[in-house]
Structure 1
Amino acid sequence: MAVTPESLHQRVIFKVLLLMVSGAGILYFLINIQRGLVGLAWVELAMSIASLWLWRNVDALKALRLWSFLYLIPFFSIILFALSDPRISYGMFVWVLLIPIVSYLLLGLWRGFAMACLFMTLAAIVYIWRFHSNPEVINTVVLANVMVCAAALWAFSHIYESSRERSQRILLKLASIDALTGLYNRLRLTEIFNRERQQAEVQRQPLSLLLIDLDYFKKINDHYGHDTGDQVLVAVASHIQRNIRRRDSAFRLGGEEFCILLPGSGREEAHVVADVLRTGLAEQHPLVAGLPVTPTLSAGVATLGDDGKDFVHLYSMADQRLYLAKHSGRNRVVSQGQALQGDSVAGENASSPVLQATL
């Protein structure tokens, strides 16, 4: 399971809660034994022991949200069970204020909202049932204070979690998107490949990887400047996005190198996609307004199974074929052990085809 900032955040909070509950459980076990609340005392001790066990093992838990959900149900239920005892004073109802805070922190925005709704409603029912005949507790001032305080904590918890999740989504997007082209960056490649590989294996579908490199890109930068080079990269990224399916994933790996994952596409289909990108790019003239820049690309294709079972082997094979395409004349696609022959021979000239018209 991938470790995300969100899972780390929730794991730390869960560990703090477990320690707090284990300590409080032992304390209240001793207090309630002395007060004669034997049943409640043993329930609290059992919760304390369970909390200590979870605390020792929390770092190894995979389904953290599920474990949090399964833990909070008995935890909140014990709070309500204790508060329903006539021998417990109404001051213990302050524990109810933990419900929305802990629910949001451990379960996220909407799961936390649902959990808080359920147990806060039950807590209100228990409160009214316990004290409906006690005018000192059930009066306008007391009820107003309790309701306003509970509503404020609930609202702050909801707003905090909503803002935190929104900020995290923005940060994750910024961390995984190439700022220049808007494509995924190298950081997301392995993660998305592993996801697509699992689906391909389950559905018994092919999966191919394309590595693409622009030919003579350094000469574009040297002759026209890096600003123009950046415009070329943006245009190439746009060209790639227009010519792949919604299910495909495109990446800029750095410099002038791109990668495309093609789920459901075997070697032949991937070669066709790469060649469509190649020929379409060569026909864009001028690519950058006002400048006769016509870059070409070379590509290497690798397919899951035939060329490797994991990302490292698949990437290595595609890289070798990209290298072969470069050293076989450029402006071509290689999807097997040798360069495929066809009409992609424009790159065989010794001079750069990008700059022939202007140099």
Structure 2
Amino acid sequence: MDMSNHQDLGKTLEQSRSGLRDNHRRSLARLLFLVTGSVLMVFASLQLFNGYAWISALEVAAAGLLFFGTPRLKNTPHLGKWVYGYLIALFSFFIAIMLVPDASVAAFVWVLIMPVLAYLLLGKREGLILSGPFMLLGCVVFYFYLGNIGSAASMIDLLNMVLCGCLMQVFMHKYEARREEAEQRLVEVAQTDAMTGLANRANFQSTLARTIAESERSNTAFVLVMMDIDHFKIINDTLGHDAGDYVLREIGRCLQERLRTTDFVGRLGGEEFGLILRDVRSEAAYELMEELRLRIAGRELSYGDADIQVTASFGMAQWPDDGREAEALFSVADQYLYRGKRAGRNRVASPCAQLSPGVV
């Protein structure tokens, strides 16, 4: 059984709620820190020549903090706090610059970049919560900056600012919502076996690894089961691959109907399925698999004019008795599965064979 490393896509999706994978988010944050710090140093020099020494000092201090944080973003476990601190300080700085007497009207364009940075680094919900109030505050500051808006020209300037801000906010919110939906669909496709709708091999392996980690922490046993449809090749050879696909879908449906909500099932490839039975010992797992075996054997499958009789063989491995690592569990379950096949198929092969008469 190939146990090559597969990324846990569920965890990846959680990490990408900010619009970026975690490593990309870190890289972007480092770039923003570096660029912002460099730009602040330039503006600090200009502000000093412009007569605003206090602003220059603040910009130099902020640049120093950004340069200090840039290399630490690569591995810090507190990336979210760094991002929030950066965005809140940056947005506050934008507002402060706009409040400076004789501020350039061009300073107000920085308000429009707020939702872009917030949604990209924080995601839809947190991006809205952070950027919304700052955008509103920016529009209010611009209103007071204009002073008398009785003239048509001043009203046009205010409307341009408000409308552009609203459009930018709505656009980023819609974009992020669509991106999340699209990524969710992609992750589901990447995790799902297209034929049966069950978890695919990569998803099953990542779930098994996560189950082992959880069991190590809680010291709770679970059982890994390998299941194989008996004589599946004969179905494909005699009735065609469409009939074989139909059988796979029906077996997948049967597995989903019988298993508990805490259990997990996936198609590992071909006619082979894997099951993870959580919080259970071999004896109880055997009874469940024996019931499932009988359920499959008694299921009447009709494909066109043909009635298809299907049976399945099962091999079981108990964690941690049969191994603490995924490779060891797969090996033991495989051994019992093929022991059951050699003994005549349509049976459950288990390490607790001596406890149940008739079991392999």
Bin of the TM-score, shorter chain as denominator length: 0.7 to 0.9
The structure showing larger relative contact order (alpha-carbon pairs under 8 Å, at least 6 residues apart) is 2
Q: Secondary structure at the match of 1:86?
A: coil
Q: Secondary structure at the match of 2:193?
A: coil
- Post-superposition Cα deviations, 1:63-88, rounded to whole Å, max 9, x if no partner, equal 54444223212222222222222253
Between the aligned partners of 1:323 and 1:167, the Cα distance in structure 2 is: 41
Pairing partner for 1:108 from 116, 123, 136: 123
Instruction: Give the match for residue 151 of structure 1.
Output: 166
Instruction: Give the match for residue 351 of structure 1.
Output: none
State whether structure 2 residue 275 is matched by structure 1 residue 260.
Answer: yes
Between the aligned partners of 2:248 and 2:168, the Cα distance in structure 1 is: 49
Q: Is the Cα contact below 8 Å between 2:314 and 2:348 reproduced in 1? A: yes
Between the aligned partners of 1:339 and 1:216, the Cα distance in structure 2 is: 27
Structure 2: give runs of 5+ residues left out of the alignment: 1-6
- Post-superposition Cα deviations, 1:16-75, rounded to whole Å, max 9, x if no partner, equal 433331221121121112223223223323333333344434342455444422321222
Pairing partner for 1:169 from 184, 202, 205: 184
TM-score normalised to the size of structure 1?
0.86
User: What is the correspondence of 1:348-359 to structure 2 with a 5 Å cutoff?
Assistant: none
Q: Is the Cα contact below 8 Å between 1:177 and 1:185 reproduced in 2? A: yes
Give percent identity, aligned residues only.
Answer: 31
Q: Is the Cα contact below 8 Å between 1:213 and 1:297 reproduced in 2? A: yes
Structure 1: give runs of 5+ residues left out of the alignment: 346-359
Q: Is the Cα contact below 8 Å between 1:23 and 1:48 reproduced in 2? A: yes
Instruction: Give the match for residue 192 of structure 1.
Output: 207
TM-score normalised to the size of structure 2?
0.86
Pairing partner for 2:220 from 202, 205, 209: 205
CA distance change for structure 1 residues 343 and 267 in 2, over 3 Å: closer, same or farther?
closer
Q: Secondary structure at the match of 1:182?
A: coil
Deviation for aligned residue 1:267 = 2.0
State whether structure 2 residue 310 is matched by structure 1 residue 313.
Answer: no
Q: Is the Cα contact below 8 Å between 1:333 and 1:339 reproduced in 2? A: no
CA distance change for structure 1 residues 318 and 138 in 2, over 3 Å: closer, same or farther?
farther
Between the aligned partners of 1:231 and 1:190, the Cα distance in structure 2 is: 25
Q: Is the Cα contact below 8 Å between 1:21 and 1:48 reproduced in 2? A: yes
Pairing partner for 1:244 from 259, 262, 265: 259
The CA RMSD measured in Å over matched residues stands at 2.7
Between the aligned partners of 1:238 and 1:290, the Cα distance in structure 2 is: 22
Between the aligned partners of 1:85 and 1:138, the Cα distance in structure 2 is: 22
Instruction: Give the match for residue 354 of structure 1.
Output: none
State whether structure 2 residue 293 is matched by structure 1 residue 298.
Answer: no
Deviation for aligned residue 1:104 = 0.8
Between the aligned partners of 1:300 and 1:258, the Cα distance in structure 2 is: 11
Pairing partner for 2:108 from 75, 93, 99: 93
